[in-house]
């Protein structure tokens, strides 16, 4: 068995563990700092919305166009008066995307591009997206996200309890905010593929969270009938027992996504993969973090506010204090003087002295 497998087994049995819940203020602080950075990125730079949301036109040139990407970008910006995004596809064609233009001017821009690129205008394929259609797509995306959130909260409230549903919702909002903030800071284009990626990573985030919640629900049955563990202690054990499983699941999911992002989008230049791969990569990492460091500690915070859990915590701490005091006293809790008085005079087996001269020199041991 590997070292990671041994560690996972020891974590599951509770032989080792890290106090995630006890250090929750540190994780809350880190999350708040990252979230503020993401919000500032959204406020200052904003999202680079694709033409599906803004409206515009996409021009695809014939194969093996002589112009380079930078030249085509310059030609498109001169022809349209707007910023352009140019991608070179695998078959040698150029995909020129111009957002925010009036679709009535598409033919004029197409003619100008054909002259600059020295190709036949009839061979340039133009796809037009109206601003009203883009606005409709954006509204549908927000509606889908809102419906997803509502269904998640309702399901978790029924399957577990409302505190776990609230904690899961906070974790999901945390993941979405960080992912969209990274998009703003990096400047990647937001397309319908990005929305699909966001919905996908929310599913992964919920999976890790529900695994921990299920373990926590199972271990906290009749928790008030014992005085050994508080709710936070059991929550911490639940995180540790599922920690290796969550890490393995996240790493296995991140490897192919990293291939799409860094090899497909970076090395091979397939820019259309960036919109979905970045959201998956950042969202998977943020989802694994939030399920361990945000969702479960937040549930523990909410549960510890209940009167029953407060009373349990007092009983557990009182018992621990009593046990610690008894361990400090010698001889089972007696004072030092009492322990000394109660100590027997002779400790260990007694050695009986042998009779002098008994049987000396006679095999039978009898005296004559």
Q: What is the pLDDT of residues 108-155, one digit of tens each?
A: 888 888 888 888 888 888 887 776 666 777 788 788 888 888 988 899
Tell me the backbone φ, ψ of residue 56, rounded to 5 degrees: 155, -150
Domain ranges of the chain: 3-49+133-316, 62-129
- Whose CA is closest to 196, among 247, 148, 241, 157? 148
Rounded to an integer, what distance in angstroms lies between the CA atom of residue 64 and that of residue 61? 9
Stated pTM of the model: 0.72
CB atoms within 10 A of CB 116: 16
> Would you say how long the chain is, in residues?
368
Q: What is the pLDDT of residues 89-111, one digit of tens each?
A: 766 788 888 877 776 788 888 88
Instruction: Supply 42's token pair.
Output: 């959204």
Instruction: Supply 350's token pair.
Output: 């007694």
Contact 300, 235 (CB under 8 A): yes
The sign of the dihedral angle between the CA atoms of 91, 94, 99, 103 is negative
Q: What is the pLDDT of residues 47-104, one digit of tens each?
A: 888 777 777 888 888 887 778 888 888 888 888 888 787 877 766 788 888 877 776 7
In words, the CATH class of domain 3-49+133-316 is mainly alpha
């Amino acid at each position: 068995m590997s070292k990671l497998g041994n560690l996972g087994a020891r974590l599951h049995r509770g032989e080792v563990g890290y106090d995630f819940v006890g250090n929750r203020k540190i994780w809350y602080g880190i999350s708040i700092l990252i979230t503020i950075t993401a919000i500032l990125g959204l406020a200052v730079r904003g999202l680079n919305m694709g033409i599906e949301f803004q409206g515009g036109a996409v021009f695809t040139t014939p194969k093996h166009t002589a112009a380079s990407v930078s030249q085509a970008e310059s030609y498109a910006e001169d022809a349209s008066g707007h910023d352009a995004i140019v991608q070179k596809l695998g078959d040698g064609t150029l995909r020129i995307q111009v957002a925010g233009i009036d679709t009535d001017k598409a033919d004029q821009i197409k003619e100008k591009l054909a002259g600059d690129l020295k190709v036949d205008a009839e061979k340039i394929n133009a796809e037009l997206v109206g601003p009203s259609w883009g606005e409709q797509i954006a509204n549908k995306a927000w509606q889908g996200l809102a419906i997803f959130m509502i269904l998640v909260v309702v399901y978790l409230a029924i399957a577990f309890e409302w505190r776990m549903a609230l904690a899961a919702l906070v974790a999901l909002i945390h993941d979405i905010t960080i992912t969209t903030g990274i998009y703003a800071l990096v400047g990647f284009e937001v397309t319908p593929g990005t929305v699909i990626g966001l919905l996908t990573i929310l599913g992964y985030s919920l999976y890790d969270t529900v695994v921990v919640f299920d373990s926590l629900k199972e271990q906290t049955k009749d928790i008030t009938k014992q005085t050994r563990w508080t709710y936070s202690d059991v929550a911490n054990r639940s995180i540790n027992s599922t920690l290796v499983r969550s890490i393995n699941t996240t790493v296995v999911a991140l490897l192919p996504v990293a291939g799409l992002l860094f090899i497909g989008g970076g090395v091979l230049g397939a820019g259309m993969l960036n919109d979905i791969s970045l959201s998956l990569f950042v969202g998977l990492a943020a989802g694994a973090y939030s399920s361990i460091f945000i969702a479960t500690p937040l549930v523990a915070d909410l549960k510890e506010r209940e009167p029953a859990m407060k009373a349990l915590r007092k009983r557990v701490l009182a018992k621990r204090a009593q046990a610690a005091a008894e361990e400090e006293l010698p001889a089972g809790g007696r004072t030092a003087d009492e322990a000394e008085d109660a100590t027997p005079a002779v400790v260990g087996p007694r050695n009986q002295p042998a009779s002098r001269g008994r049987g000396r020199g006679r095999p039978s041991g009898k005296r004559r």
